[in-house]
Amino acid sequence: MQAGDFTKAVEHFDTSMEIEKAVHGETEDHPNIARSYHNKAWVSELTGQLTDALTGYEKALKMARISYENLQGKHPDIAKSLFRIGECLRKQQDLEKAQENLRQAKNLIKVPKSSQV
């Protein structure tokens, strides 16, 4: 696969998602399935398909929140989806919503002062 061959990337992510759903269940909220949605959304974002990207990131976010609810919603996958949603919204000039998503992502990855070196 050559750099910039986004069509093949989408095909690979679709295949990955099919395998993950076969292993973990079609309706199962599993982190691997969430990552597949996130990765496919990233390709959509790179190709300027921001509406499709937002849909994919939002699916990934919802699934990740369910998958990691035992961590009170604090997981890097959740922060990544929030960040990417914020970036798509920023590109669409929806700055208020973008700022809120970016703020949430930042709060999830914030390192407590007591653990900073």
pLDDT of residue 28 exceeding 80: no
Q: What is the pLDDT of residues 57-107, one digit of tens each?
A: 999 999 999 988 888 778 999 999 999 999 999 999 999 999 999 999 999
* pTM for this entry: 0.84
**Coil, strand, or helix at residue 98?**
helix
Please give the Cα distance from 70 to 87 (Å, whole number).
27
In terms of Cβ atoms closer than 10 Å to its own Cβ (0-12, 13-18, 19+), residue 50 is middle
In this prediction, residues 7-19 reach a mean pLDDT of: 88
Please give the Cα distance from 1 to 59 (Å, whole number).
27
pLDDT of residue 44 exceeding 90: yes
**Domains observed in the chain:** 27-110 (1.25.40.10)
